[in-house]
Each structure stands twice: as structure tokens, then as C-alpha cells.
Amino acid sequence: MTKEEIIAHFDLKEHPEGGYYHEVYRSKDLIAQEALGQKFSGDRAYSTSIYFLLTSENFSAFHKVNQDESWHFYQGTEIELHMISPEGEHSKILIGHDYKNGQVPQFVVPGGYWFAAKVLQPNSFAFVGCGVAPGFDFDDFVLAKRGDLVKAFPNLKELIQEFTRA
Ligand code: GUN
């Protein structure tokens, strides 16, 4: 299927970070806010998962969530995922199907890390799944402001400029 066909078939919508997504699963049961602690502003589902499609014409901008987020590669070409730890350590990983060349089909981004991603091959896309527990809520989602992130991590200015829009 082409990316347009996948977007239509799974009813993917634009995500504020870039790319297209559709929530596939949200547990009916909730974890009470008192059990989650101060990081969470309310009750959350046990877990949620989405389809996520990123094209080479776009990128996923630096953002963070409280939870660890697991990525699973389904189809397309590899994604380069960049992370900045709370201490300012930069790391990257290739998520894809070329295992012999170091790509992995599953990767977990630690909660609280800033992360961003792009599709390296021109004229292509990657179709992946992303899951979090406790479940996703836009209240927990922080899209990085370029100026603030550069101020926090000045040595990563070029990387932050590439992966932020404003
Ligand atoms: N649901 C809506 N947006 C997201 C996201 O960025 N990650 C996950 N795991 N779920 C979402």
C-alpha cells in the first residue's frame, strides 16, 4: 500500500508532533491519579497504543511524555530516533528491518526523555506502532519550544533546530 492508502485505510490523522496517527487501543480500566503521583494530572488508562506513520517529507518534532514509550516497526524504511536525556545526553537509534546493520524492530524511549524522529530514505515512509502505560493523555504531552530547549542544551543547538518548528 502507498502511504496515502495506509492513511486512508487506518483513518490516520495529523499529529501535533508531525506524522499521522490513529489510536488503536485504550484500556477501559483506569489507574487512579492518587496511585500515579504528581507527574500525572488525573486518572489514566492502564495503557494505550497507536498506529503512527511518518513520511520523509516531514519529521516528528522533539517532545516528551511521562511514560516509557515502546515503538514497533511494521513497514517502510528505517526511522532515525533521537533522544535527549534529562541530563542532556544525546543518543540515537535506527528503528527498522535491516537487523544486520544495527536496526531494531522494537525500541523503548524512556519516560521524561525528549525525543524526535525522521525517515532517512527520500520519497518514503515508516509505519510503526507506539504504546504507553499508563495510557496516553495530551495533558502529559509536551512539544518542545525551540528556544527553551536550546537554552537547556546549548551544545545540541543544531540537532534541536533540525527537529523543532517553533
Ligand atoms: N496518542 C496520541 N498521541 C500519542 C503519542 O504521541 N504517543 C502515544 N503512545 N500515544 C498517543
Q: What is the mean pLDDT of each run of 10 residues along the chain (166 residues)?
A: 97 98 98 97 98 98 98 98 98 98 98 98 98 98 98 98 97
For residue 50, the CA-to-ligand 1 centroid distance in Å is 6
Residue pair 81/136 in contact by the 8 Å Cβ criterion: no
Helix (H, G, I), strand (E, B) or coil at 77: coil
130: number of CA atoms within 13 Å, CB side? 25
Residue pair 95/73 in contact by the 8 Å Cβ criterion: yes
Pull the grid cell for residue 144. Answer: 518542545
pLDDT at residue number 136: 98
DSSP notation for 82-144? EEE-TT--EEEEEESS-GGGT-BSEEEEPTT-EEEEEE-STT-EEEEEEEESSPP-GGG-EEP
66: number of CA atoms within 13 Å, CB side? 17
pLDDT at residue number 47: 98
Q: Residues of 103-117 as b/e, b for ≥16 C-beta within 10 angstroms?
A: beeebebeeebbbbb
Q: Residues of 14-34 as b/e, b for ≥16 C-beta within 10 angstroms?
A: ebebbbbbeeeeeeeeebeee
Among the atoms of ligand 1, which is closest to the Cα of residue 67? 9
In angstroms, rounded to a whole number, what is the distance separating the alpha carbons of residues 146 and 148? 6
For residue 152, the CA-to-ligand 1 centroid distance in Å is 25
Bridge partners of 106?
Answer: 72
For residue 107, the CA-to-ligand 1 centroid distance in Å is 15
pLDDT at residue number 53: 98
**Ligand 1 neighbourhood includes 132 CB (under 6 angstroms):** yes
**Ligand 1 neighbourhood includes 163 CB (under 6 angstroms):** no
For residue 110, the CA-to-ligand 1 centroid distance in Å is 14
pLDDT at residue number 83: 99
**Ligand 1 neighbourhood includes 130 CB (under 6 angstroms):** yes
pLDDT at residue number 62: 98
Of 22, 50, 54, best ligand 1 pocket probe by most atoms within 8 Å of the beta carbon: 50
